[in-house]
Amino acid sequence: MTMDNDINPTSVDPEANATDATGAATERSAFQRLMTVTVGPIVAAFLLSAIILLLVGINPLTYYGYILERSLFSGLGLEQTATRMAPLLFLCASLIIAFRAGIWNLGTDGQFLLGAVVAAATAPLLVGVLPGWAVLLVGFALAAIVGAIWSIIPALLKAYQGVNEIITTLMMSFLGVLLASTLVKLAFRDPATTVPQTRTLPVEDRLPRLFDTTISSGLVWGLVAVLLVHLMMTRTSFGLRLRMVGANPAAATHAGLSVPLLTLATFGLSAGFAGLSGASEILGVAGNVRANWNPAYGLMVIPLVFLARFHGVGAIVLVFFYSALLIGSESAARRLGVPQDFTLVLVASLLICLGLGEYIDHHKRKKER
């Protein structure tokens, strides 16, 4: 949590540093830091993956070329990348609230899926009953509420008994994932299909697409959510209260804040945004939930939020590249006959190298002091 107020490495602005008293020296070290914590690790990760690709007999340049071409330089790929960002952004919003308030909500997958199932169960039934915008609004609202409800047990245990939420949210997440699947199979199953899945929201009733593209407008809402959450946490009194509870609960009590109530609020908001994320995927892209569907976006986003140091803009940038990587490597893998799972190898080496970069940077700074 000490990184709380550090400048986000990906948005280091040379001008901001120039105002510093020690001008040139800081600028150089800021550049060095940028190299150690961001650029260096990314290059290293691609080199590492390249070695592995060479070992299995694939030309890494072709592979990386496909990734870039498919995810960023082709119109359709770029649209897919942008669409994929939407649920990830809502999850970033969820995690930024939680992590900044010192709550390790690792149960976003359960909250996400239950939100998704509830949205998928209600929205198709409301089509025709309510106007289109209201259908979507109800779907999102219900998803947020259900996501928040799924965090009540860990929230109460944390707020009043001090039970470690890392354990409880993870456990509730497993239950949530299974419950979501059960609900699809037993309660919300579409009688018209043979495979267990919910009723499908017709494409014209989903979130509108942006202009003439296939990009879901969920992207816009996701961006708005992350930016709003970022401003809430950094610029409002409520955000400062949450951050204070996260940074030092004893000081918060001393200053007269109700730590249990603020803890409950953190859980509610964080899990609510996780629910919204589920709804954005269903109401924007998928239209229905198939049984056993679990993209596990929640766990994917955690390292991104950490690397962005809980900073909204940093998280958006990282989510963009991450989505591009997901989309691009999916098709690259298909074309070159590399297993689909190679994406994970690339992502894993990226995370490891970024982590190592942090570690080296931390040690360097320690030495400087």
Partner 1 sequence: MSVALATETPTNLSPQKGAGVIGVHGVTKRFPGVIAVNNVSLTIHPGEVHVLLGENGAGKSTLVGILAGLQEPDEGYLSLKGQKTRLASPSASLDAGISTVFQHSMLVPTLTVLENLTLGAPWHERPPRVAIAARMEELKRDFALSLPLDAITGELSLGQQQQIEIARALLRDSKVLILDEATSMLTPQGAEELGARMQKLVQSGLAVIFITHKLAEAYRFGNRISVLKQGALAGEMGPEELKGMSEDQAIDEIVRLMFGREAGATSIEHRTSTARAETVLKVADLSTQGDSNVMGLENISLELKTGEILGVAGIDGNGQKQLAEALAGQRALTGGRVELDGEDISRASVAQRRRNGLRYLTDDRLSEGSVGAFPISENTVLKDIGQPPFWVNGIERPQRIAQHARDLIKKFSVRTPGETTPIGRLSGGNIQKVLLGRELSGEARVVVFNKPTYGLDLQNIDASRQRIAEIAGNGLGVMLISTDLDELMALSDRIAVMEGGRIRGIVENDGTGEALRLRIGRMMAGEEEHKQATA
By CB under 8 A, residue 56 contacts partner 1: no
Check binding of 13 to partner 1 (CB under 8 A): no
Nearer to partner 1, 194 or 237 (CB): 237
Q: How far is the CB of 251 from partner 1 (least distance, A)?
A: 5
Q: Which is nearer to partner 1, 3 or 54 (CB)?
A: 3
Does 1 contact partner 1 by CB under 8 A? yes
Question: Rounded to the nearest whole angstrom, what is the least distance from the CB of residue 246 to partner 1 in the complex?
Answer: 9
Other beta carbons within 10 Å of 194: 6
CA–CA distance, 256 with 271 (Å, rounded to integer): 26
Nearer to partner 1 by Cβ, of 84 and 243: the residue is: 243
Rounded to a whole number of angstroms, the minimum distance from the CB of residue 93 to partner 1 is 19
CA distances from 202 to 33, 86, 285, 286, 289 (A): 49, 19, 11, 10, 13
* Angle 85-89-93 from CA coordinates, rounded to 5°: 175
Per CB under 8 A, does 161 bind partner 1?
no
Task: Of 208, 232, 287, 226, give the one whose Cα is nearest residue 88.
Answer: 226
Query: Could you say which residues in the range 109-138 bind partner 1, by CB under 8 A?
Result: none
Q: Does 7 bind partner 1 (CB under 8 A)?
A: no
* Bridge partners for 216 per DSSP: 209
Q: In whole angstroms, what separates CA 60 from the centre of its chain?
A: 28
Residue length, the chain? 369
Q: What is the Cα–Cα distance from 47 to 45, expressed in whole angstroms? A: 5
User: Closest distance between partner 1 and the C-beta of residue 259, in Å?
Assistant: 11
| For partner 1, the closer CB: 222 or 312 | 312
| Residue 277 contacts residue 90 (beta carbons within 8 Å) | yes
How far separated are the first and last CA of the chain, in Å rounded? 19
What number of other Cβ atoms are within 10 A of residue 238's Cβ? 13
> How far is residue 343 CA from its own chain's centroid?
17
Q: CA 76, CA 67: separation in Å to the nearest integer?
A: 13
Residues 237-256 that bind partner 1 (CB under 8 A): 237-238, 240-241, 243-244, 247-248, 250-251, 253-256
Could you tell me the smallest distance in angstroms from the CB atom of residue 332 to partner 1? 42
Binding flag, residue 4, partner 1 (CB under 8 A): yes
CB of 303 to partner 1, least distance (A): 21
We find the least distance from the C-beta atom of residue 156 to partner 1, in angstroms, to be 20
- Count of other CB atoms within 10 angstroms of residue 344: 11
- By CB under 8 A, residue 366 contacts partner 1: no
CA distance 302 to 88: 10
Tell me how far, at minimum, the Cβ of 3 lies from partner 1, in Å.
Answer: 9
Contact status: 160 vs partner 1 (CB under 8 A) = no
- Segment 21 to 50, residues that bind partner 1, using CB under 8 A: 21
Distances in Å between the Cα of 366 and the Cα atoms of 27, 358, 359, 360, 363 are 18, 12, 11, 10, 5
Binding mask 212-241 vs partner 1 (x if CB under 8 A, - otherwise)? -----------------------xxxx-xx
Where on the chain is the footprint of partner 1 (CB under 8 A)?
Answer: 1-2, 4-5, 21, 235-238, 240-241, 243-244, 247-248, 250-251, 253-257
